[in-house]
Amino acid sequence: MKHTALMLLVTVCVTALSLQGSYAADATNRAASLKTWRTQCSDPDPDMQIGYLEEAIALKDESILRICLRQTLNSDNADTRNLALRTAISARNRIIFETTMPAELTNAYKKAEKDKRKKKEVDGSPTARLYSVISNGLIFDIQNAELGSNRSLWFPIAGNTKADDRFSGRADVVGTKVIWTGEIAYTGGQYTTCDLQIKLVRGSRLEGTLKCEGMWTIPVRAPLF
């Protein structure tokens, strides 16, 4: 009986060690593969870069695609960056922009800080009312973003709590820029037509401005990862 139990324990230990070794080998192989992709997607030849990015897209491996996008989004070649930007957008269903209070609005508040009446007027201005609902982030839900197209539908979530067909607009990728025009809801059931113009910058980020009718321009930025 003791011999049987001992043999069973030995078998379990050997199996565990074998599995541990197998997992370690798998992890090592995976790491080597990811390093290879990182090197390949950093190829100085733009045609090779595009080719590797297309291969990464076809693989449908999220980790490999992310690695390849990080390299190609920072490429010196405009065509490579364009494909990488379109791919990055098509790979996500939401993007959140950080917003900065317009300098004009900041100055208006500074001038009115000791005057309650003037501060109330500033609070009631269209820019302040819009900024109050996007100060913690301007969210866009993304739909119909297909890799083969430079167009997609973006739904802003600001005064509304979820994507609404009434507040949407087409986003066009032009080179390494994204241009969007649509309506954004804000406080009091109001809405306004806005233009979002952003560009791809180093560090896999989008930076630009949100310009709405009759309002001051709001700087925006968002990481793609």
114 confidence band (pLDDT: 50, 70, 90): confident
Check pLDDT > 80 for residue 3.
no
How high is the pLDDT of residue 14? Answer: 46
Check pLDDT > 90 for residue 105.
yes
7 confidence band (pLDDT: 50, 70, 90): low
Q: What is the pLDDT of residues 8-26, one digit of tens each?
A: 544 544 454 454 555 567 8
SS (H, E, C) the chain: CHHHHHHHHHHHHHHHHHHHHHHHHHHHHHHHHHHHHHHHCCCCCHHHHHHHHHHHHHHCCHHHHHHHHHHHCCCCCHHHHHHHHHHHHHCCCEEEEEECCCHHHHHHHHHHCCCHHHHHHHHCCHHHHHHHHHCCCEEEEEECCCCCCCEEEEEEECCCCCCECCECEEEEEECCEEEEEEEEECHHHCEEEEEEEEEEECCCEEEEEEEECCCCCEEEEEECC
How high is the pLDDT of residue 107? Answer: 97
Q: What is the pLDDT of residues 65-91, one digit of tens each?
A: 999 999 999 999 999 999 999 999 999
Encoded tokens for 57:
């897209």
Beta-carbon-side half-sphere exposure of residue 46 (alpha carbons within 13 Å): 12
Beta-carbon-side half-sphere exposure of residue 26 (alpha carbons within 13 Å): 6
How high is the pLDDT of residue 16? Answer: 45
Classify residue 25 by burial, with Cβ atoms within 10 Å: 0-12, 13-18, 19+: exposed
Check pLDDT > 80 for residue 131.
yes
Max CA separation in the chain (angstroms): 91
How high is the pLDDT of residue 188? Answer: 84
Q: What is the pLDDT of residues 149-198, one digit of tens each?
A: 899 999 999 999 899 999 999 999 999 999 999 999 998 889 999 999 99
Q: What is the pLDDT of residues 37-64, one digit of tens each?
A: 999 999 999 999 999 999 999 999 999 9
